[in-house]
Amino acid sequence: MRISKILRGSSLLLITIILITSVLAIAAYVYSGITITSRTEIKEPIRVYRIKGLPSTLWPGDVGTIEFKVENKDTKPYIINCTVKLPWPGDGVADGRGIDVIEFIVGDQNRTADLRDDGVAHFVIEGKETLTAKVTIKAHGDVPSGVADITIDIIRSVVLNDPPRYIHLSWAVNDVYHTMTIMWWTEYDVSGNVVVYDTVSHEGEDIAAYRFKAIAETHQVCAYGKCFPGYWHEVTLTGLQPGTTYYFKVGGPGGWSKEYKFRTIDPNKPVKIVVTGDSRRPWGEGYELKVHPEVTSNYPWSRIWLAKAVATEDPDAVIFVGDMVNEGNNWEHWSKWFEDVTDNLITADGRIIPIIAVIGNHEMGAYPNVESTYEWFKGVFANPGNELWFSLDFPNLHVLVLATTGGCVGTWWAPMVEEAKEQVDFIKEDLASTDAKWIIAAFHVPYYDCFPSGTGYPSEVLLKYWAKLLEEGGVDMVFTGHVHNYMRSWPLRTVDVVEVPVDRPWTKVGYKYVYELKHSSEEGTTYVVVGTAGAPTDPYEKGGACAIRDFMASAYARHMYVLLEINSTNIH
Ligand SMILES: [Fe+2]
């Protein structure tokens, strides 16, 4: 141990050390390694007990340790949430460089975690009896020197009443037969990151009755220097049996959910998928209720009703084509959405219906272009790959999901060009790689809808970059939202996209479609807009601009969803 190096730190630092440790606990600073021994007792039903320690200068090769004793005065269990906060970023890799491995030993329980990029490592240990805990930090290789500061929170489970909420399912990997991804939310990160599951029900029995158990990763949703309240827990169960019902509970010290179930996809059975989108709340002040006397809006009851109606169909999954919420950067909007929509996408017998989430412009942030980022959406859902554009394979069906946010509400054209171009290679490769009988594409903003083309509306960017690509790539149906109507086209082919001069603040060139109507889905692609999951509807004659076009086979301004039944010969 390099005592001399430690002493290079200011004497003020040493005084600080003594003050902190004295105030918080009985402490002794020992120069055998960098060791502070603290002792504290749990004496009252407090939620958080905080110990700070190990303020020192770490050098490569140093090992820092903080020890403390937990004296539990009663027999109720507690959990220790150890948050190690250091002034340097971790590299997230246990490669023996930097401060990247931290051990936390409580009794015979030993946890090791890598330091995250934000300089934080988390450990959770449950205990019942008086014990001594020891936290060790190892500094490797090229670690910079500085003052380390450990905060240890001891959270008593007896005061935690924080059962899982907003439980939802999806597929974070493209294997709907053998995997299922579960996400849930708790107020505190330590409240529970465990899922127990089995092929038979154990409702009413002990958690230990379930044969299988998995531990979820826990994360916060943060961007622009703020984080949503609470913590998301996410785990992908693998090695599941196809076409099988699994019963599960999620939770931990903060409480457990009731027993739910999910169903893996059976490769030999027809698949049933619901498509819907746009459940966001009105802009506010009733604005959207005034634009047309026939507009339908009874937010939020419409989206609650819709979710319940979808559940009665018993679908294998729901494709949600974006604009779940009005402001993607607003936790209140999200938490309400999970209450209204995902909490109701559950069948009467307790099966949670997986959601294939498609990002919309409203998920990016608030109008106009406030805190715009993909991170809000990515944080609350679990999708494959980059979570924004990806594909999933079902029996006889390939689902291609794309991102069309245009940056955010209020930005549009330039970001839309960027987004469209960025996905071109992915679309080509993805469509070339599938031999599924049916292909559907799902994204948020439509380019065949009630609005005329050639006006510089941002969806024309997609017309230029994607229309032929998707149609020639074999996409049978394109599902979108954004416009709060149902609209279905006849099968059609885009034969040309013509550049036309426009005078918009964001572009001087628009794109106009030239199409041919076809007689069958063999020859053409069917475009469906279904932005009807609860947002105030847009009458298709809205403003005189959004009208029924000649390529439309059907159009309604009603809250509704599309139910697809797919087998080897038909898609209904
Ligand atoms: Fe939208």
Residues 281 and 248 in one domain: no
Of 107-121, 251-265, 473-487, least confident by mean pLDDT is 107-121
Residues 350 and 226 in one domain: no
Q: For residues 297 and 537, give the distance between their C-alpha atoms in angstroms, rounded to a whole number.
A: 7
Integer angstrom CA distances of residue 324 from 170, 230, 234, 337: 16, 20, 20, 7
CA of 63 to the centre of ligand 1 (A): 53
CA 92 / ligand 1 centre spacing (Å): 36
281 CA distance to ligand 1 middle (Å): 12
Helix (H) / strand (E) containing 349? none
Same domain, 8 and 117: yes
pLDDT of res. 309 = 96
Cα 220 to averaged position of ligand 1 atoms, centre (Å):
25
pLDDT of residue 13: 38
Range list of H helices, 367-478: 375-380, 413-422, 424-433, 460-472
Residue ending a domain, among 159, 179, 205, is 159
pLDDT band for 322, please (50, 70, 90 cuts): very high
pLDDT of residue 537: 83
Same domain, 258 and 275: no
Closest CA to 539 of 278, 291, 303: 291
Cα 423 to middle of ligand 1, angstroms = 19
* 541 domain residue, yes or no: yes
Distance 325 CA to ligand 1 centre (A): 10
User: Is there a domain that residue 440 lies in?
Assistant: yes
Distance from the alpha carbon of residue 559 to the mean position of ligand 1, in angstroms: 16
Q: How far is the CA of 357 from the centre of ligand 1 (A)?
A: 14
Q: Which residues have C-beta under 5 Å from ligand 1, the single-atom ion? A: 323, 360-361, 482
Residue 21 pLDDT:
34
- CA gap 277, 279 in Å, rounded: 6
Residues 394 and 461 in one domain: yes
Give mean pLDDT, residues 399-421.
Answer: 91
Query: What percent of the chain is modeled with pLDDT above 90?
Result: 57
Residues 183 and 108 in one domain: no
Buried b / exposed e over 247-269, threshold 16 CB at 10 Å, is bbbbbbbbebbebbbbbbbbeee
Q: How many domains does the chain have?
A: 3
Q: What is the pLDDT of residue 407?
A: 80
For residue 315, give both structure tokens: 């679908």
What tokens were used for 146? Answer: 């500085």
Q: DSSP per residue over 425-453, as a string?
A: HHHHHHHHH---SEEEEE-SS-SSSSSPS
> In whole angstroms, what is the distance from residue 69 CA to residue 198 CA?
38
Regarding whether 100 and 85 lie in a shared domain, the answer is yes
446 alpha carbon – ligand 1 mean position (Å): 9
pLDDT of residue 155: 52
Task: Please indicate, yes or no, if residue 452 is contained in any of the structural domains.
Answer: yes
Q: Are residues 287 and 240 both part of a single domain?
A: no
Per-residue pLDDT reduced to its tens digit, 348-367: 999 999 999 999 999 999 98
Average of pLDDT values for 367-383?
95
Any idea what the CATH number is for the domain that residue 174 is in?
2.60.40.380
Q: Which of 159, 176, 204 is the last residue of a domain?
A: 159
What are the start-end ranges of the H helices in 212-330?
A: 287-290, 301-312
> Confidence class of residue 136 from pLDDT cuts 50, 70 and 90?
low
Do 102 and 211 share a domain, yes or no? no
Q: Which of the four pLDDT bands, split at 50, 70 and 90, describes residue 416?
A: very high
Residue closest to 321 by CA, chosen among 471, 175, 528? 528
Distance 127 CA to ligand 1 centre (A): 49
Q: Which of 3-17, 466-480, 530-544 shows the lowest mean pLDDT across its residues?
A: 3-17
Encoding tokens for residue 233?
């827990």
Last residue of some domain: 266, 298, 331?
Answer: 266
**What pLDDT, on a 0 to 100 scale, did the predictor assign at position 161?**
74
| Average pLDDT for the chain | 80
C-alpha 345 to ligand 1 mean position (Å): 22
Q: Tell me the CA–centroid distance for residue 47 and ligand 1, in Å.
A: 42
- Domain check: are 485 and 551 in the same one? yes
51-88 pLDDT, tens digit each: 444 434 455 555 666 666 655 554 555 555 555 555 55
DSSP string covering 126-138: EE-S-EEEEEEEE
Distance CA(230)–CA(558), nearest Å, equals 35
Distance CA 64, CA 511 (A): 64
CA 119–ligand 1 middle distance (angstroms): 37
Of the ranges 20-34, 145-159, 342-356, the best mean pLDDT one: 342-356
pLDDT reported for residue 361: 96
Domain CATH number, residue 118: 2.60.120
Quote the ligand 1 centre to 277 CA distance (angstroms): 9
CA angle 521, 470, 570 (to 5 degrees): 30
For 22-31, the pLDDT digits (tens) are 333 322 222 2
Q: What is the CATH number of the domain that holds 377?
A: 3.60.21.10
The pair of structure tokens assigned to 238 is: 């693998």
- 117 or 493, higher pLDDT: 493
Q: How much distance in Å is there from the Cα of 351 to the middle of ligand 1?
A: 29
Q: Are residues 516 and 424 in the same domain?
A: yes
Give the lowest-confidence range in 135-139, 338-342, 345-349, 504-508. 135-139
- pLDDT value at 20 more than 80: no
Dist. CA 280 → ligand 1 center (Å): 9
CA of 177 to the centre of ligand 1 (A): 32
The answer as to whether 571 is a domain residue is: no
Name the nearest CA neighbour of 491 among 516, 522, 466, 525.
Answer: 525
pLDDT of residue 23: 31
Which of 75-79, 109-113, 494-498 has the highest average model confidence (pLDDT)? 494-498
Residue 286 Cα to ligand 1 midpoint, Å, equals 18
CB-based contact 127:62 (threshold 8 Å): no
- Domain presence at residue 58: yes
Of 141-150, 173-182, 298-307, which has the strongest mean pLDDT? 173-182
Same domain, 241 and 389: no
- Quote the ligand 1 centre to 323 CA distance (angstroms): 5
Considering the domain boundaries, does residue 489 fall inside one? Answer: yes
Domain that holds residue 179: 160-266
Residue 572 forms part of a structural domain: no
274-293: per-residue pLDDT in tens?
Answer: 999 999 988 765 555 544 55
Give residue-wise pLDDT tens across range 200-253.
Answer: 999 989 999 999 999 999 999 999 999 999 999 999 999 999 999 999 999 987
Would 516 be classed as within a structural domain? yes
Cα of 456 to ligand 1 centre, how many Å? 16
How many residues in the chain?
A: 572
